Structure 1
Amino acid sequence: MRLDYLTIFPDYLAPLGLSLPGKAVESGLIDVHVHDLREWTHDRHRTVDDTPYGGGAGMVLKPEPFGEAFEALGVDEHTTVVFTTPSGEPFTQRLAEELATRQRLVFACGRYEGIDQRVIDHAREVAEVREVSLGDYVLNGGEVAALAITEAVVRLLPGFMGNAESLVEESHTGGLLEYPVYTKPPVWDGREVPMVLRSGDHGLVAAWRQEQARRRTAERRPDLLAPSALDDGTPIERAVPADAAEVLTLQRACWVQEALANDSLDIPALHESLDDVRAWLAEWDTYVVRRSGRLVGAVRGRRDGPEGQVWDIGRVMVAPDLQGAGLGRALLEHIEAVAPAGVTSYALFTGAASARNHRMYKKAGYRLRRDLPAPPGAVVLTKRRR
């Protein structure tokens, strides 16, 4: 893979010669070229920027040096030009994997207020263009982002990592953050390595690591657990305030059925207003499912109990015409999966006479807890988190 960097601060990219990237250059696995954009200027001051049209603070990198640089470097349809910019698409492991399949990457490192838009438009006419952002913040220039993207991409190239298995169980591989890792000694500063890692039981170790990865992801990056998807690819998405009206409509349809099953209208969900739904949407982690633009399922959860160890699950709702097709079970599994670290059990309640619900929850591993207080006409069910 060939990597070119266009920058006005070439020394900023000196780390490309260090550690594993440096060894990859020496071995010929990657071909790295850092170019000073000022090489393609023609005035005695080697000017690369100018004031923005329309006024405003800061300076904008001029189009002429980039245009000449692209021509001199032979940028063509076999090239992917990466513009590092805070207004680009978020950089992810998936994007790193995609870029690792390219023959050649050219990084255009912006500075000041950015690069003249015509440079990007021109690049799109002759090459593949990706505008990429490291995150929702602003750096002084694009060199740091170019280095980070390079590290993430080239380590995926065959032969780059001495031990290819190192790539298998990493953060963002398989959608989860990496589990905690330990090394010798077994006890340090009074802190012990978990016994399961010293047990020699590979099955227990694998299960522990998977659970720790899921818990860490739920605690630090719950957005990675959602949206998830149903078997048919339909996404399960986090609810937003604008969903309140549709959630209210679905809720009333579902709880009319509950009222009929339990022969009672004394059900709080049946009497909530739009403002009530808006209020609890702001307090609960709520997820919804849409099909053909229609909101057909929802579920919510929040921490409860001593030290927040209980994940309170509620409002498992499926449109009446879709009930019995497994959507309720999928929503239940999803809300369990996004429970944050520290949660040790799940709890929910349903109508005492809601036979369909009881069957679903029993199959999902919940057990009836008549010893726990419940709203009038309802029963509590719990399940230990494994």
Structure 2
Amino acid sequence: MALIMTETSGVFPSRAQRTRIDIVSIFPAFLDVLDLSLIGRAREDGLIDLRIHDLRDWAHDRHRTVDDTPLGGGAGMVMRPDVWGEALDAVLAGGPEAPGAGRAVLLIPTPAGEVFTQRTAEDLARADRLVVACGRYEGIDSRVPRHYAARGFEVRELSIGDYVLNGGEAAAIVMIEAIARLLPGVVGNPASVLEESHSAAGLLEHEALTRPVAWRGLDAPEVLLSGDHARIARARRDEALARTAARRPDMIRALDPATLDSQDRTTLARHGWVVPAGAPRPVPMRLRPAEPDDAEALAALAARTFPDACPPFLPPEKIATHISRALCPERFAQWIADERAGVTVAELPEGSPADSDAEPIAPGELVGYAVSLLEARDADGALPEGLDARPPGIAAPDAASGRAVAELSKVYADSRLRASGLAPVLISHALAGAGCAGATEIWLGTHEGNRRAQKAYKRAGFRPRGKRVYEVGGIACRDVVMSLTLDPAGEPNPRKEPHA
């Protein structure tokens, strides 16, 4: 019997340091590609004991037949169980019950198998021995895997995708490369295995760029040249999240919220995903301009969220009075109809997961909103309804210089979306809307005791400009006034100082 294999040179590591992989096929030459690149080098260095066997060596007729017609009729041919049985008995000699055999796994590539993933590769890389049975034609007689499973072998029937190949060899090459590169010493830099797509992080890999820095009008991001490793790591993480959200939303749905920090959640929210409180995974989120039919739902959302920003000394009845006057459905309807008002709403198209630990969110329910008001008079000389008096620290609009001022009047997220990254995204959309409306500066007032809100606005680029008094239900409250300048696209421009 001929055994086709590549002999390795040098001193082999101990058995505990290498994995043995046996492949059985009727086309051994198909697998010569495994002598190339990192897998071939790993064989030469003794990191992998890779042996390739010709199935026909176990056939007994002069034609070396390994297949026959399907029982019950049908198209194609099926590989015989008796030939495969002799082959696998020989290759698996010793069995899982042999002393010191370790974990042995029989792999059968088949389009009818479970999907082979990076998690599968990581699991199989921990095995001591893999035996791969490459079928052809209509596949291997189904009794073969059942027989070896009954004997106590670990049997895995695996598919590399939802398509059909002529045989199992190409799939075997894919799986062996994915598994072998995870073994110690096969890949020169172990960190590259941790950072790549489908790693334990559950994300696609960030872009890969090299020199020249500028190529055909496409420049590499400045952050990659900064030498600031923390910034680079953050930028790459953000890009991995963005890429995955755009290309593989199924992977975003599978993320564990415990692995996401606050910046991760903000990045996900920018790309349409949030984690409601108590949810076991991210869910889709949509931002859109408010529509007339949203007025009632916006007023209800405002009634739930406005008290969260109020100082503790305000009596509930005073807060309720303010809400009934300033955040009623009629006021939201006015804003939605006014071109000088930008009203953005956030909704969860699918609601919150059914297995969430928090109060459920219904599909399509509004979970956040932002309102910006441009300080401009209409044909009758009136300012937008609800526009607050401009504080002393904010200069007046000036048509001659092109200076236009807007107020960021409202930014609120449902308490079930707190710390989800939604609020920063609502702020960004409000700034973009105000910039598109022509504003060159945007200001806001937030209670001086609301440190959380002040930090959030500072992260968005706002800077303190003074104080003001703001009445809620007739009770005076002291606010911190903050503002920032906007470029024509509505983006914060930290290089420009607001006019005093």
TM-score range, shorter chain: 0.5 to 0.7
Identity of aligned residues (%): 46
Q: Whole-Å Cα distance in 1 between the matches of residues 427 and 172 of structure 2? A: 42
Q: Which residue of 2 aligns with 1:113?
A: 138
Q: TM-score, structure 2 length as denominator?
A: 0.53
Task: For residue 171 of structure 1, report the CA deviation from its aligned partner.
Answer: 1.0
Measured in 2, the distance between the counterparts of 1:122 and 1:212 equals 48
Residue of structure 2 in register with 1:104 after alignment = 129
Give the length in aligned residue pairs.
306
Once the two structures are superposed, what CA deviation does each residue of 1:345-364 show, in whole Å capped at 9, x if it has no partner? 568xxxxxxxxxxx9x9699
SS in 2 for 1:131: strand
- The AA in structure 2 aligned to 1:182 is L
Distance 1:384 1:82 in 2: 54
Partner residue of 2:32?
14
SS in 1 for 2:202: coil
1:222 match: 249
Whether contact under 8 Å (2:301, 2:367) holds in the other structure is: no
Q: Which amino acid aligns with 2:229?
A: H
Q: Does structure 1 retain, via aligned residues, the 8 Å contact 2:22–2:132?
A: yes
**In structure 2, distance between residues paired with 1:288 and 1:364:** 28
1:92 corresponds to 2:113:
no
The equivalent of 2:158 in structure 1 is 132
Aligned to 2:191: 165
Q: Secondary structure at the match of 2:203?
A: coil
1:80 aligns with 2:105: yes
Distance 1:52 1:255, change over 3 A: farther
**What CA distance in whole angstroms lies between the structure 2 residues aligned with 1:224 and 1:68?**
42
| Amino acid aligned to 2:190 | A
Q: Distance in 2 between matches of 1:299 and 1:172?
A: 30
Look up the equivalent residue of 1:113 and give its one-letter code: E
CA distance 1:333–1:192, change in 2 (3 Å): closer
Tell me, what secondary structure is at the counterpart of 1:286? coil
Deviations 1:28-65 (A, max 9, x none): 11111111111111112111111222322111111111
Q: Does the alignment pair 1:50 with 2:86?
A: no
Structure-1 separation of matches of 2:69 and 2:211? 57
- Which residue of structure 1 aligns with residue 307 of structure 2? none
Tell me the CA shift for residue 299 of structure 1. Answer: 5.8
What are the within-5 Å matches in structure 2 for residues 192-271 of structure 1? 192-229=219-256, 235-236=280-281
Please give the alpha-carbon distance, in whole angstroms, between the structure 2 residues aligned to 1:159 and 1:118: 38
Give distance in 2, aligned partners of 1:44 and 1:255: 82
Report the AA paired with residue 67 of structure 2.
Answer: D
Counterpart for residue 286 of structure 1: 350
Q: 1:91 to 1:326 in 2, by over 3 A?
A: farther
Q: Distance in 2 between matches of 1:5 and 1:211?
A: 41
Which amino acid in structure 1 is aligned with residue 165 of structure 2?
A: L
* Distance in structure 1 (CA, Å) of the matches to 2:170 and 2:155: 19
Unaligned runs of 5+ in 1: 240-253, 268-283, 301-313, 318-324, 338-342, 348-358, 368-382
Alignment of 1:363-374 (within 5 A): none
For residues 334 and 258 of structure 1, the distance between their equivalents in structure 2, rounded to whole angstroms, comes to: 15
- 8 Å contact from structure 2 (residues 280, 355) kept in 1: no
Alignment check: 8 A CA contact 2:206 2:239 kept: yes
Following TM superposition, by how much is the alpha carbon of 1:134 offset from its aligned partner in structure 2, in angstroms?
0.7
Residue 145 of structure 1: aligned partner: 171
Query: Residue in 2 aligned with 1:36?
Result: 54
Distance 1:109 1:85 in 2: 9
Change (3 A) 1:56 1:8: same
- Give the 3 Å change call, closer, same or farther, for CA 57–235 of structure 1 in structure 2: farther
Answer 1 or 2: which has greater helix percent.
1
How far off is 1:218 after superposition? 0.9
